Amino acid sequence: MLANQKGMALITVLLVTALVAMLAVSMSFAQHVAVRRTANLLEGDQAMVLALGLEEWGRWVLNRDSKGSDNLGENWAMGLPPTAVENGVVSGSFVDMQGRINLNNLVLGSSNEIAQAEQMLEQLYEDCEADNGAFLVRAVADWLDDDSNPRPGGAEDNEYLLHEPAYLAANRPMTSPSELLLIEGFTPEIYLCVKEHVAALPGPTKINLNTAGPVVISTLSPGLSVAAAEEIVMARPDDGYASIADFLADPALAGTGINPDGLSLTSGYFMARARAVFGEAEVELYTLFSRTTLVEVVARSIGTY
């Protein structure tokens, strides 16, 4: 009997010891998680502050930039290479958003700018292997215009209400080209192909010939191939064209009938991408700046434009 009791006591002691050990492990794990969570919050905040600091640097760069020409030989185009700061790394770069086709021109532009945007976007979609570029142009225009009456062959609420879940057309200018993914006819493949060449700017814009890439240049005229546009961009002066006439004088553009109305050598919209790493945390901040006399923040987004 005594031996039995001793045995029970021993088992109890062993059980209690095991329980305490388990509790200690789980408490220390929970504490570790709490410490890590706090560190993540603090480091995330620090990274965000660094990114906002970079944004301020971006504003300063754009303010100091000469407004007479915006070209890839300027300081803003160099960006900031990865630079070590205390406990982290920062880097930044700019994209001239007027080197891209502004989707909102389809409703915000003058009649010439609308016609130009329609033609450029149709060609871009077809370069991206869309079956029916003209349909996509109309569907986007319907998405943007403020009425709910589909253009002939367009798409309005009547199409989007059939989706699961159902939704409505935005009927207002886009704030991000990623809205294309919601529009009738767009696939993720088409979106991925066009996204580097389009922008969603709050006002009508002209194409900056000094920063547009070969794909965008090639869409200026149905007769211009991407290969020909690559040659044009290669021959572009490092500090930009002296005049729009200089661009149009390129022999590859003879007879293409490009309307100079929609062209420019300067830009009023720049996207700054600020990347900040602090400890374990990382923030990628996209800031859309408008620049007239002042440089102003139009929109911010984290992780993607």
Is 55 or 74 the residue whose CB approaches Ca ion more closely? 74
Q: How far is Cα 125 from Cα 134, in angstroms, rounded to an integer?
A: 9
Is 160 or 278 the residue whose CB approaches Ca ion more closely? 160
Cα angle: 300, vertex 63, 51; to 5 degrees: 35
Cβ at position 79, least distance to Ca ion in Å: 14
Selection from 291, 292, 287, 269 nearest residue 199 by Cα: 269
Is 123 or 266 the residue whose CB approaches Ca ion more closely? 266
Q: What are the Cα distances from residue 2, in Å, to 6, 11, 12, 13, 182?
A: 6, 14, 15, 16, 79
Is 43 or 65 the residue whose CB approaches Ca ion more closely? 65
Going by DSSP bridges, is the β-strand pair 101-102/198-199 parallel, antiparallel, or unpaired? parallel
The site for Ca ion (CB under 5 A) is made up of 65-66, 70, 74, 142, 145, 169, 171
Cβ at position 173, least distance to Ca ion in Å: 11
Cβ at position 174, least distance to Ca ion in Å: 12
Q: How far is Cα 281 from Cα 270, in angstroms, rounded to an integer?
A: 26
For the chain, helix (H) and strand (E) counts, in that order, are 10, 9
Lookup: tokens for 82: 């990865």
Cβ at position 103, least distance to Ca ion in Å: 14
The residue assigned the tokens 């004088």 is: 249
Residues 6+ apart with CB under 8 A from 275: 51, 54, 90, 91, 92, 282, 283, 284, 285
In the bound complex, which residue of the shown chain has the CB atom lying closest to Ca ion?
Answer: 70
Cβ at position 267, least distance to Ca ion in Å: 8
Q: Are the C-beta atoms of residues 283 and 302 closer than 8 Å to each other?
A: yes
Is 74 or 122 the residue whose CB approaches Ca ion more closely? 74
Cβ at position 71, least distance to Ca ion in Å: 7
Cβ at position 153, least distance to Ca ion in Å: 14
Is 136 or 283 the residue whose CB approaches Ca ion more closely? 136
DSSP at 259? -
Is 125 or 160 the residue whose CB approaches Ca ion more closely? 160
Selection from 237, 271, 242 nearest residue 98 by Cα: 271
